């Protein structure tokens, strides 16, 4: 177990289809949840998340996803308890750029059955709050040009979209966080999704 996990970032969304949702840092002990989330993903979701169609959740990748260096990066998992079992809904993460510690790359994955219900928007919103609180000034992401949902979500949260230097199949999304003030407890006040 990571000793420096920022557990104080844990929040609760009151109701999601009648179930409480917890958002908390992803821990090294969450392998089963990460695997379950990975198994829920269609090849299209995997293609959009990892920007290539062939990737599988192998032990090396799992290890990398689970062992977050919380002194610089963050991964948040949203879970709900269904029939007594903690169920993964989504994971969002940022990782600081090596050449600019005030900038980070973001990624977000919602389990396929739960896509389109506002979870991605809400979890990425929470990640943005945490990034601003951690002193980050810029969030960036590589998104397939065909990923209308992610581009729409990013636009709804204030990201700008540009052509990507790596090619026309990609878009670069970017959000400036300078001066951004997170509304306190904004995510606690919503009663349903």
Ligand X SMILES: CC(C)(COP(=O)(O)OP(=O)(O)OC[C@H]1O[C@@H](n2cnc3c(N)ncnc32)[C@H](O)[C@@H]1OP(=O)(O)O)[C@@H](O)C(=O)NCCC(=O)NCCS
Nearest-approach distance from CB 22 to ligand X, in angstroms? 17
- Sequence-distant (6+) residues with CB within 8 A of 132 are 177, 180, 181, 182
Residues that bind ligand X (CB under 6 A): 45, 48-49, 107-110, 115-121, 141, 143, 147-150, 152-153, 156
Question: Considering beta carbons, is residue 134 or 173 the nearer one to ligand X?
Answer: 173
Three-state secondary-structure class, residue 52: coil
Nearest-approach distance from CB 175 to ligand X, in angstroms? 13
Nearest-approach distance from CB 152 to ligand X, in angstroms? 2
Interatomic CA distance for residues 161 and 9, integer angstroms: 29
Nearest-approach distance from CB 112 to ligand X, in angstroms? 8
Question: Considering beta carbons, is residue 2 or 47 the nearer one to ligand X?
Answer: 47
Three-state secondary-structure class, residue 167: strand
Residue position matching structure tokens 């005030």: 102
Question: Considering beta carbons, is residue 2 or 19 the nearer one to ligand X?
Answer: 19
Residue position matching structure tokens 């999704």: 193
């Amino acid at each position: 177990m990571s000793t420096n996990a920022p557990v104080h970032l844990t929040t609760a969304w009151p109701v999601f289809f009648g179930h409480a949702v917890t958002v908390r840092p992803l821990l090294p002990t969450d392998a089963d949840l990460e695997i379950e989330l990975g198994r829920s993903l269609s090849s299209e979701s995997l293609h959009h998340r990892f920007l290539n169609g062939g990737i599988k959740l192998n032990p090396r990748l799992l290890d990398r996803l689970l062992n977050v260096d919380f002194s610089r990066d963050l991964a948040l998992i949203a879970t709900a308890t269904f029939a007594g079992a903690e169920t993964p809904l989504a994971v969002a993460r940022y990782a600081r750029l090596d050449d600019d510690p005030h900038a980070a790359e973001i990624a977000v994955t919602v389990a396929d059955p739960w896509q389109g219900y506002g979870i991605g928007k809400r979890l990425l919103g929470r990640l943005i709050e945490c990034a601003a609180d951690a002193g980050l000034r810029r969030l960036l992401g590589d998104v397939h040009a065909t990923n209308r949902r992610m581009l729409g979500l990013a636009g709804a949260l204030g990201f700008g979209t540009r052509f990507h230097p790596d090619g026309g199949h990609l878009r670069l999304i970017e959000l400036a966080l300078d001066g951004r003030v997170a509304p306190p407890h904004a995510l606690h006040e919503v009663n349903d999704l």
